[in-house]
Each structure stands twice: as C-alpha cells, then as structure tokens.
Amino acid sequence: MRIAQVVGPKIPFFDNLPHTPFSIPAMSYLITEGLVKRGHKVTVFAPSDSITRAEIAPNTWSSKFIKKHHLSKARAEKSKLYKKIAHDHFTNVVKLSKNFDIIHNHELAFLYFAPEASAPVVTTLHYHIPDVKQKKFLSAANNQFIAISKKQTDNFPALKFAGVIHHGIRVEDFQFNGQPKNYVGWLGRITAIKGCYEAILAALKSNQIIRLAGNIERDKTEAQYVKTIFDLIKKNPTVSYIGKVGHQRKISFLKNAKAILMPIRWEEPFGLVAIESFACGTPVIAFRRGALPEIIQDGKTGFIVNNVTEMAKAIKKIDQINRFDCRQSVENYFNVERMVEDHEKLYKKIINSQ
C-alpha cells in the first residue's frame, strides 16, 4: 500500500520520541516504522529534519526553523508565520494526495483540508473533544475515525468510526523489575484532571510513601491547584516531587514503584502511562474513568477503584498482583507489532470499501 502519515509541522519524527508529552507523533512514528518494515511505501508529512525509514514529504518545514523563531505552542495561534506553516503543511498533503491509497491523519486541523484530498482519509482521534457538536469539520465525507479505546466511541456516538485500535509500545524499550522499592508513584502533568491530589490523599490514607513525577501545569487557571499540591508536599515527608523525567529516568521511576496511581478525573481516551508501567512489571491502580477499565485487568494487572478510600485499600493489597502478569499483558497485546497489524488490516478494509 501507498500510505501517508500526517502529523503536525512542529515535532520531528525520531527514534525514542518521548511518549509524554509527544504521544501523537510518537505513536505515528511507531506505526510508520512498522509499516515500512512490512514492505509498505510510507510517506510522512512531518518536519523535514525528521529521522525515519519512511519517505519525508517534499516541501515541508524544518522544526529547527520553527524553534528558531520561538513559535511555542502558547504563541502559535497568534503567530501569522505559524499559521502559514500549518496551512502550507496541510495543503501539501492535499496536493500530493493522488499518490496515496490512504491518508492516515493524526491532526484534527487537517480535517478542514480533508474534503479536497483525492484519497480516503482516516483520522486517529487522539483527543477528547468537549464541543464535538460545534466541530462541523469532523463530518468530512471522505474521512472516518480510528478510536484509541472503546470508551472513546461511546463518548462520541455521532462520529463515523472505522474501528478501535489500542496503542502499543516497544516492549524492549522498558526494563522489567520484579523487586520494586517501597513507594507508589504518580506520573503526569500536575493538573486537576490527572488526579495528583487524589493520589496523594490515597497514599497518605494507606501510610505509603508516594513520589510524584512530571510537568508542572503553567496555565494560570491551575495555579491554586499546583499550590495546593506543593503545600501538601511541604507538610508531609512521605510525599515528594522528583520533577520532570526523561525516558531513562521515567523507566527507573516506573520499574521501582510498587504501583502507579491514576485517579484521573476526566474521560481519558487511553492512558499510555498504564501500559508503560505494565512493561516494567508495575501494576496500576486507577479510577473507573475513561479507557482505563479497558487497559487494566482488575485483580490481575492492577485494580479499578471508584474513590480515594478504595484506592488506599487497593494499595495495601498490591502485593497480590503478579508483576509478571503486568509485563505479559504488554508482550501479548499492548505491543507495536499488534498495533501496526491492526492498522494495516483497517487500511485495507477502508481502501476495499471505496
């Protein structure tokens, strides 16, 4: 098949692109490399300085140029230059669309351009869209959607889903550890929807050491929430923040934790942290929200709970979980090979239906 992979113009493709906060280009990269390995002709619409075995589309901008001009995400919407770059990036896909059997899109912005494309378009819905009824461009006639969880299809019944494909990761990138240290972990962006506050409360209720890792939310609307978190850290010696973590430090953090807590407070479409934890042998205790009940096998790879009190009780019985079962869930299912094969089958189904 001749396949186009469309991501945004800012983040270049390269090996070991961090899943957080670059899950969209990271997943697209893994799919792309897997498809090339399977013998398909893949063209990526990504920055020209990307490093990939696929063909990089002509007439793309360099991410270094964007960085040089300080076109940060926060300023992008106000930048005429960035708007031009994004417009050129997506119109380039349309111009070259006749060269492809299918276009796999990862950016909602491209849907404004999708009706002009000569090939069928399938868009992975990486986001939760609160105002979906207002997004008329989501109903482009030649576009279908790939959901990254069954829960996502339930949340958006009006959208035309071609199928559900769970994310996968390269298992070999994560080290298994059968003898963790004496702490539970929380990993993410320190913001209310990620449940950092609830994770701390659950750890305190269970008299367990908790370590927090990840980015501090800089949005002014979250300032009081961030302050509350760091006030708790100052008051409680069993709570610590280790800061932002790169790939290797993240693996060390995950594999040494007794469990990872995910008391999310929103309908998270997937939850890559969960399968990264499993790959290290670390079980996950999560609230019954979003896609996490699809990912976690309750009682086998972690626990699904409804509130902080139940989470605290689950922490106390985490030793009941066999860490080998966690690792095996990724080896058997949440792996790149399965994810790529699922996409390959879905592409063929869409192409044959045209």
pLDDT tens string 288-302: 999 999 999 999 999
Q: Residue 42 and residue 45: Cα distance in Å, rounded?
A: 10
SS3 assignment, position 213? strand
Q: Residue 46 and residue 44: Cα distance in Å, rounded?
A: 6
Question: Radius of gyration (Cα) for the chain, nearest Å?
Answer: 21
Percentage helix, strand, coil, to 5, in the chain? Answer: 45, 15, 40
Domains of the chain: 2-168+335-353 (3.40.50.2000), 172-332 (3.40.50.2000)
Q: Residue 233 and residue 209: Cα distance in Å, rounded?
A: 11
Percent above pLDDT 90 for the chain: 77
pLDDT tens string 190-202: 999 999 999 999 9
DSSP assignment, residue 169? B
Q: In this structure, how many other beta carbons lie within 10 angstroms of the beta carbon of residue 96?
A: 19
pLDDT tens for the chain, residues 1 to 354: 999 999 988 888 888 777 766 789 999 999 999 999 999 999 999 999 999 999 999 988 887 776 665 545 545 555 677 788 889 999 999 999 999 999 999 998 899 899 999 999 999 999 877 666 556 667 666 789 999 999 999 988 888 899 999 999 999 999 999 999 999 999 999 999 999 999 999 999 999 999 999 999 888 889 999 999 999 999 999 999 999 998 899 999 999 999 999 999 999 999 999 999 999 999 999 999 999 999 999 999 999 999 999 999 999 999 999 999 999 999 999 999 999 999 999 999 999 987
Are 123 and 28 within 8 A, CB to CB?
no
